[in-house]
Amino acid sequence: MEAVLRVKNLNKSFGSRPVIRDVSFDVYSGEIFGFLGPNGAGKTTTIKMILGFLFPDSGEISICDLDLKKHYEKAMNLVGGIVENPELYKEMTGYENLRMYARLHDGVTEERIQEVVRLVGMQNRAGEKLKKYSLGMKQRIGLAQAIVHRPRLLILDEPTNGLDPAGIKELRDILKNLAHEENTAVFVSSHMLAEMELMCDRVAIIDGGAVLDVKPIADILHMASKQEAYRFEVNPENIEKAAELAAELFGKDALYGG
C-alpha cells in the first residue's frame, strides 16, 4: 500500500511545555486510521500541524511524498478535512455550499457534486437551507464538501461528537465506503475505543503528546477476545500516564508492570 501521509519525529512545545513528543506514524491509501486518546492527549495539535495551521518545532510531515514545508499548497490540494465543526453557510442550501467550495478546486464537475451528495446520503435534503439541518445532516454535507475534490487524504477530528447512535453508524458506513470505493486514506481522531474498533483498520494510541503504540485493530480485538495482555512499551517517565490511559481506554482493571 502507498503511504499517503507520513509523520516522522514530530515535536511541538507551547512556551516551555512540550505538547507533542517525537510522534511518528504512516497512513496508507484505502485504510481508515484511528488516532485514539483522551481529551488533551495531543490529537488536535497533531492534526493542526498536518494541516499547516501550526508549525512543528522539529520533525517531518509529507503527503504523497510532498514535504509540507517545501510544497504546502500542492500538498493541501490533496487533502480534505473537518477540524471541529464544518465551515458551512446556514442561509445557503447544501448544494449551494458545495458548489461554492468546488470553485476553489480545478476540475470539480456538477456530476461530482451529485456523486458526493449521493455518497453521504443527502440527495433528498441537499436542496434545503442548512438552517433546517440537524447536526448529523450538517456533518454529512461537511463531509461531502471535504471530499468533493477527490482528496487522497481525509482528516476528521472527533467527527462523531454530538451524533446519536444512528448518525454515528451512518458516518461509519460512509467512511468505509469512501476508503474502499475511492481508495482514500482516512485519518480519524477519537477518544472512544469502541468506535475505533468498529471503524478503523489500524489505530495509533496517543497520550501526553506521545504515541504509545500503533496496532492493526484486528490485533487489538484478537487479544481482547482471548483475554490476553496488551503490551505497551513506554519510556519510564511515562509509566503512570500509560497506566491511566490503559484504565481509561480498556477499563479500570487494566494493569501494568515489568
* pLDDT band with cut points at 50, 70 and 90 for residue 251: low
pLDDT the model gives residue 255: 45
Rounded to 5 degrees, φ, ψ at 59 are: 110, 175
pLDDT the model gives residue 101: 94
Q: What's the whole-number mean pLDDT along residues 27-37?
A: 97
Reply yes or no on whether the pLDDT at 258 is more than 90: no
Q: What's the whole-number mean pLDDT along residues 8-33?
A: 97
Q: Counting beta carbons within 10 angstroms of the beta carbon of residue 157, is it exposed (0 to 12), middle (13 to 18) or buried (19 or more)?
A: buried
Look at residues 143, 97, 93 and name the one whose alpha carbon lies nearest to residue 116. Answer: 143
Domain ranges within the chain, ordered by starting residue: 1-69+166-258, 79-150
Instruction: Answer with the residue of higher pLDDT: 245 or 125.
Output: 125
Q: What's the whole-number mean pLDDT along residues 181-210?
A: 93
Mean pLDDT across the chain, nearest whole number? 89
Fold adopted by 1-69+166-258: Rossmann fold (3.40.50)
Distance of alpha carbon 43 from the chain centroid: 9
Same fold, 1-69+166-258 and 79-150: yes
Domain range 79-150, CATH architecture: 3-Layer(aba) Sandwich (3.40)
E-assigned strand segments in 57-184 = 58-63, 66-67, 79-82, 153-157
Reply yes or no on whether the pLDDT at 215 is more than 70: yes
User: 9-23, 63-77, 78-92, 212-226: which range is least confident on average?
Assistant: 212-226
pLDDT digits (tens, 9 = 90+) for 104-161: 999 999 999 999 999 999 999 999 999 999 988 998 999 999 999 999 999 999 888 8
